[in-house]
Amino acid sequence: MDNKFKLLAAVALCPLGLAATPAYAAGTQAGTTITNTVSVNYKVGGISQTAQSASNSVTVDRKINLTMTTAASTTTVAPGATAQVTAYTLTNTSNDTLDFILSVAQQSGGTAQHGGTDVFDTSNVVIYQDNNANGVVDAGDAVITYLDEVAPDTTKNILVVSDIPNSQTNGQVAGIVLTAQAAAGGSAGSQGVVLTATSGANTAGVDNVLADTAGATDAANDGKFSVKGDYTVLAPVLTVTKISSVISDPVNGATSSAKAIPGATLEYCIVVANAAGAATATNVAVSDTLPNTIAYASAYGIFVNGTATGTAPSYTCNTDGTAGGIYNAGTTTVTGSLNNLAAGSTETVRFRATIN
């Protein structure tokens, strides 16, 4: 009789546990129990014996990761503008639902995200969650300090809102840095504790592994990600030139020999120019208070929105424009309103006065 044991064998792997757990880009959900059972079937003397089996269970640990991006271009702003928005998106690439604590810092010099050098700070900074992803703050958005219960592979839209100082000039840039830090999820409406890496060997529970890459100002594997955004001032760059010419005098008349003597008539031309690449200047109002050595020539009037040729300071004022403007005899002030002044354009105000 052959008493040798013959392993006829069959090994079956049977994963048990949470079969309905969804698959995420970052992998299996943290806390999932993976159980494998092996069975060994065999015979003795041709007779089937009781199968032998063994099981093993592994708890999936928490892989903490996130990414964040900013808008493709800078936010252009006017000096003194309030509630100006820079937009960001955060994606939870972890394998667990997490909270993300948000903070904003002013960049201190250096190159801004979209070019230019950071030279000023914004004020009254507030963070909103952009619930409808339209890039503006509206009634559906709420002020936040953290993102609550962000599921794996979920993207959230964030708006950083700031005020711009009134003293800033065209082309100046303010850089800001938005940082998100991973915190424990699981309790809706309450910010979770900051997650740190589990040290030492793997435990039977859910360990934390920080798998994030370095952001704009933070290091890799620190549970954070930071990204820069910026504001760029777009403002008019106006220059004002005032020129005068002698039209006539009591001795030489209206000739090229006329001199600026008492009784002579002067023509004043105020040239307002806006630099190329600047923002359009609106509501441009010119005000010129006359000294008591000259008297406004009411018979000639005031002409606005005229043109000039040449460049500052050697403009030649053209005899065009439309009648308009106001002279206030009480304050001896000439005022005139100009059309919107686009980048690279000039407009003039002309009037005449007599030397006393």
pLDDT (tens digit, 0 to 9) for every residue of the chain, 356 residues total?
444 333 333 333 334 444 455 667 779 999 999 999 999 999 999 999 999 999 999 999 999 999 999 999 999 999 999 999 999 999 999 999 999 999 999 999 999 999 999 999 999 999 999 999 999 999 989 999 999 999 999 999 999 999 999 999 999 999 999 999 999 999 999 999 999 999 999 999 999 999 999 999 999 999 999 999 999 999 999 999 999 999 999 999 999 999 999 999 999 999 999 999 999 999 999 999 999 999 999 999 999 999 999 988 889 999 999 999 999 999 999 999 999 999 999 999 999 999 99
pLDDT at residue 23, rounded to an integer = 65
In DSSP terms, 23 is beta-bridged to: 28
C-alpha 72 chain-centroid distance: 9
Q: How high is the pLDDT of residue 14?
A: 38
Distance CA 64, CA 213 (A): 10
Distance, in Å, from the CA atom of 291 to the CA atom of 284, rounded to the nearest integer, reads: 23
- Per-residue model confidence (pLDDT) at position 316: 93
At 311, which amino acid appears?
T
- Where does the chain hold its CATH 2.60.40.1170 domain(s)? 238-355
Question: What amino acid occupies position 239?
Answer: T
Nearest Cα neighbor of 302 from 333, 279, 277, 273 is: 333
Superfamily of domain covering 238-355: Mu homology domain, subdomain B (2.60.40.1170)
CATH 2.60.40.10 fits 64-233, yes or no: yes
Residue 117 gets which letter from DSSP? B
Residue 252 CB partners (closer than 8 Å, separation 6+): 258, 259
- Our measurement of the distance from residue 259's CA atom to the centroid of its chain's CA atoms, rounded to an integer in Å, reads 58
Return d(Cα 22, Cα 273) in angstroms, integer: 64
Give the pLDDT confidence score for residue 11 in this predicted structure.
35
Buried b (16+ CB within 10 A) or exposed e, 139-153: eebeebebbbbbebe
Q: Report pTM.
A: 0.80
The residue type found at 328 is N
Torsion of CA 73, 77, 82, 85, to 10 degrees: -10
Nearest-angstrom CA–CA distance, 19 and 23: 10
Supply the pLDDT for residue 26.
76
Q: Can you give the length of the chain in residues? A: 356
